[in-house]
Structure 1
Amino acid sequence: MLSKTTPTDQTALVVDDYARQRHLLVAVAGAGVLVAVLLQLIATRRGVGLQEDSAAYIGAARGLLHGKGLTLPFGESLATPLTRYPPFYPLLLAGHAITPLDVFGYARWLNTGLLAATLILVALICRTMSRSAAMPLAFASLIVVGSTRFITVYAMAMSEPVMIVAGLASLYLLMKYLADARPQLLFASATLASLAALTRYIGVAYGVAGAILLARSRTQTRHRRATLVVAYLVGSLGPLAAFIAYNVLVVHDTANRSLGFHPSGLRNLSRMLDTLGSWLVGTESSAQGIAGLVLCVTLVAAVAALIRRGGAHRATAVVLVVWLVVYLVLVELATAIVDATTAGDYPRILTPALPVVAVLLASALHQLMSMRSRLGRLRLALPIACVVALAPIVPEAVRWGRSARINGVAVTRPAWASSRVLRTARETPRGEVIYSNDAAMVYLLTGRHVFDVPSDRDVSSLRRNSEFDAQLARMRRRLARRGGIVVYFDNAFTPTRRQLTDALRLREVVHERSGTVLRAARQHP
């Protein structure tokens, strides 16, 4: 005789299934976080990676701690106000003063925590799409952790990790608000969006996307929607607007960038596809462009499937897609109007899009897998195809981890500890001046104030620098009056080392593969 299942038994089964799914989700998320943190710590064993932006953030943090405010200890003046970048990341770095760590060790552990937070947010967003989110989370975590482009950014003293965490948290809370309309969720979302914008200017994408999503909501009256949109814009973009207004009124500078018009072309589109493809096939593959194109087509199909599904899938997908579109549009506008070199930095600039793309792809795959009756045998072939497609990620991540463990990521202080070029700069008498065509890095590795060697090209527009002759004359006078050295690194910088030597009558005193030190004779009156 068959036993009957009572409503109480059915409720217990549902509760047990929910608990199992939750435990499985926690286990998968924990495994992803553990792998990511270990990879991060291995990669930064020789110290956190450094580059030119790192010098600005660390220099501004030191300036704040030394009572000079958010100023840069390198460049044309002794304390240039920080306007090229928003202030939040330097403020975070200044927090190292209350820890036993120096700013470099602090940045390393801060980014390790931010990487863990990123994967936790990916898990939470996957959870909003499906109760049984373990499989899509595992897929999304593999894409995120396995992408060496992504991990590289977190292994460096860069502001993107802070923006990504604040931005993803803002989007997650906005999803929650759109589901149950609790005001505190909207306030928290706007606050986090403001932190993203105060970390990087492109972070305004989170506030703009949030306003668009609130405007298209149909659960409120038109007047109520307008009020919410205005409040969200003020909360998310108001602090950054105040920072810019201060720069204009007090510092008389907006962002230390010259505006122009240099629209993005097919070459930039090719660079973008290469970057997207490198998320899947790695940075060494010659098939990056093809992989990027396939990824874009797959992403469009995934988004269409999620939106057509409806329910939580649709609501979450719409939030992520609106942000993704807004972000890409703003990146291209920045390239066309503000900085023509942005396209060359796509591997870093597009990093915030990776977790969003990973969640969309993983959720779409999970939805297809749940369609048992329609897929038939394809249901078994689909995950196999995905494993094959993602197969290059694992060996690429292992190769990158080994290389980073030995050589570090980008520039690290231990790698330059024995440099004669930097030792010469460090030992230059305080009364003399130091110039360099990479002033930020020389400051970061020596702690000395370094002036910029003028370039005959504008670094933002890539056009001729109309003030080059005047800047070179000022450099000549300063070297003649105080004496000093020029630390020159052979790269794409112009004028070349030979041109600069001839123009300023410099003599070579130190030369090694990493760079050259040129000395200017001091002219006594």
Structure 2
Amino acid sequence: MLKRLVTWKGWESPWLAAVGVGGSAALAAAIVRWVSAFWGLGANSDGLAYLILTRSLLAWKGYGYPLPDGGIKPMTHFPPGYPLTLAGLSALGLTPENAALVVSMVSFAALIGFAGWAMYRVTHHAWPVVGLAAWLAVAFGTLRIYAWVLSETLFMAWLFFVGWALARWLEAPSRRRALLVGLAAGWLVYIRWIGLVALAWVGLVMLWAWWRRKVVAWGEAAWALVGGVLPPLLLMGVNHLWAGAATNRRILWHPPGAAKWRAALQTLADWLGGAFVFPKATPWGWGALVLLGALAAVALGWRWGWLRESAPRERFQALLVQWGAFIGVYFVALVAAITLADAATPMDWRLLAPLLPPASLVVGAALWGVLRSRPRAAAAATALWAVFLLATLVADHHAFFDARWGGVALRSFRWQQARIWKDARALPPDALLLTNELEATIYYTRRPAQPLVVPAAKGGRLVVVDSSTKEARVLPYPDMETWGRAVAERLEGRCAAVVYVTLKAPENRALEDAFRLIKREKSGLLLAPPGSETCLGVQP
């Protein structure tokens, strides 16, 4: 009975698999909409930056942060692909926030669709296809990404589009398909700079294809190279002409420490158990077990599953090489970026998120290779997986409940309704704003602002640490009070105000002693430097 159930020819229908994938994609989009129903998608400072850049594009001012003189400060830290997409949708009548929601829902559905297609291409069975699609729809690691304003939402979907194009080239190589692969891979860099790894990824897979076929297809490789290199060169050239630099990174040596490696293992553990323990973190030690389990599953699937038959073996081998190469190249590139370019880059749930869908695809296909010829094991494993997915969905409800009703991070209701923004918006339009929360102040006040860099006390000295390079600059002030007076003296007589958002006792005292207090809110302080009271409309 079980054998008939598992081997029923109807499960091989692509239409049946498509229905399951479509249902999973709809579920994913519905969950994102449910989470964002009241306060919208969550955002950190990067997310607010994307929305600020979108507003700048919509105002036809260019790609950058607004300046007090009406111009902009060109942006090179973030490639323009994601904000341009939001701006394109906003031009149709959506707000940038709603455009981000549409991009999140559509990209999530597209990711699930491409991943399901890749699984069906190998297994030709609806069970593993729907199992993968449903997993991606409810996995804590993917939902956490798609519930935020993040460029990874678009990046992950486009990544699987590149994978689809690459798989089609592997299936039937041609110059036209090679050019499509190259162009698709090259455009990844417009979404995230780490998209440059796609060129190495495509190159490795094409090299493997040449080795397997023993046919020199240099023409196809050349077309892929042209398509892949032109978009990044165009972007870097425009950045150099527009901003004076291709990127805003400097090459220095700062390899990831033990804390980053623990964060990486904790992320792996959270992929399976994060929804069950949130807001606490899954113990990072479990991440090592997840990693070893995934490697063991792939080895088991290869040795005891796909190796036995020629055609299925070749399909799984192509999948393993294609996505295994991406996982390896992406992770190496991430470590290299932290080591050489940006020490502030974490190895956390956001940066490792692009590895979750391909890893799930490879592990799922490997396990199905073992189960497909063992009907009882396949039925039992499928039933257990369905129970786990249902439990994960219930856990997701609890994990994202607060996000639904209170918002997330810098777009939570506390930030959206903070009175400090209303106070700052009420200042004269020509008043210069300085703030310790640059993106939040620009976003919520809809005014230009400049950063107020608050030093930290270290070893009896005040220092400012560059998060990207870890370089520390010692300030010539003995204490916070002296620093506060120096800031006030620098602004004396100017039409300026300080929007100090995060209340911390030492900085609070230092600024209040040197500035005139305009407003004190639970959300922050509004301060005026000496001599600016008249301009700001404050009684001396």
TM-score, normalising length from structure 1?
0.86
CA gap of 1:155–1:316, structure 2 versus 1, over 3 A, is same
Q: Deviations over 1:164-194 (max 9, x none)?
A: 1111110121012112113333222222212
Deviation (angstroms), 1:74: 5.9
SS in 2 for 1:362: helix
* 2:470 alignment partner in structure 1: 462
What aligned pairs does 1:373-384 form with structure 2 within 5 A after superposition?
Answer: 382-383=381-382
* 1:242 alignment partner in structure 2: 234
* 1:485 alignment partner in structure 2: 497
* 2:528 alignment partner in structure 1: 519
* 1:394 alignment partner in structure 2: 393
Which amino acid is 2:343 matched to? Answer: A
Whether the aligned pair in 2 keeps the contact of 1:55 and 1:441 (CA below 8 Å) is yes
What aligned pairs does 1:116-515 form with structure 2 within 5 A after superposition?
Answer: 116-132=109-125, 134-217=126-209, 218=211, 223-225=216-218, 227-282=219-274, 283-284=278-279, 287-308=282-303, 309=306, 310-343=313-346, 346-372=348-374, 382-383=381-382, 386=385, 393-412=392-411, 415-455=414-454, 456-465=464-473, 476=488, 479-490=491-502, 496-501=507-512, 505-515=514-524
Q: Deviations over 1:242-265 (max 9, x none)?
A: 222333355222322343211013
Deviation (angstroms), 1:224: 2.5
CA gap of 1:141–1:103, structure 2 versus 1, over 3 A, is same
* RMSD across aligned positions (CA): 3.1
Matched, 1:95 2:88: yes
Q: Which moved more, 1:265-274 or 1:414-423?
A: 414-423
Deviation (angstroms), 1:40: 0.8
CA gap of 1:74–1:349, structure 2 versus 1, over 3 A, is farther
Please give the alpha-carbon distance, in whole angstroms, between the structure 1 residues aligned to 2:506 and 2:159: 40
CA gap of 1:468–1:366, structure 2 versus 1, over 3 A, is farther
Whether the aligned pair in 2 keeps the contact of 1:49 and 1:408 (CA below 8 Å) is yes
Which amino acid is 1:430 matched to? Answer: P
Please give the alpha-carbon distance, in whole angstroms, between the structure 2 residues aligned to 1:209 and 1:383: 33
Whether the aligned pair in 1 keeps the contact of 2:11 and 2:127 (CA below 8 Å) is no
* 2:480 alignment partner in structure 1: none
Please give the alpha-carbon distance, in whole angstroms, between the structure 1 residues aligned to 2:503 and 2:298: 43
Whether the aligned pair in 1 keeps the contact of 2:41 and 2:147 (CA below 8 Å) is yes
Q: Which moved more, 1:214-223 or 1:21-30?
A: 214-223
What aligned pairs does 1:9-20 form with structure 2 within 5 A after superposition?
Answer: 17=9
Deviation (angstroms), 1:447: 0.5
CA gap of 1:272–1:413, structure 2 versus 1, over 3 A, is closer
Please give the alpha-carbon distance, in whole angstroms, between the structure 1 residues aligned to 2:115 and 2:232: 26
Q: Which runs of 5+ in 1 are unaligned?
A: 1-15
Which amino acid is 2:316 matched to? Answer: H
CA gap of 1:20–1:296, structure 2 versus 1, over 3 A, is closer
CA gap of 1:224–1:231, structure 2 versus 1, over 3 A, is same
Deviation (angstroms), 1:498: 3.7
Deviation (angstroms), 1:38: 0.9
CA gap of 1:213–1:294, structure 2 versus 1, over 3 A, is same
Which amino acid is 2:109 matched to? Answer: A
Which amino acid is 1:292 matched to? Answer: G
* 2:63 alignment partner in structure 1: 70
Whether the aligned pair in 2 keeps the contact of 1:74 and 1:440 (CA below 8 Å) is no
Matched, 1:39 2:31: yes
Please give the alpha-carbon distance, in whole angstroms, between the structure 1 residues aligned to 2:77 and 2:177: 31
Please give the alpha-carbon distance, in whole angstroms, between the structure 1 residues aligned to 2:392 and 2:531: 56
Task: Select 1:108's aligned residue among 101, 104, 113.
Answer: 101
Whether the aligned pair in 1 keeps the contact of 2:103 and 2:154 (CA below 8 Å) is no
Whether the aligned pair in 2 keeps the contact of 1:280 and 1:392 (CA below 8 Å) is no
CA gap of 1:481–1:220, structure 2 versus 1, over 3 A, is farther
SS in 2 for 1:347: coil
TM-score, normalising length from structure 2?
0.84
Deviation (angstroms), 1:126: 0.8
Please give the alpha-carbon distance, in whole angstroms, between the structure 2 residues aligned to 1:342 and 1:368: 38
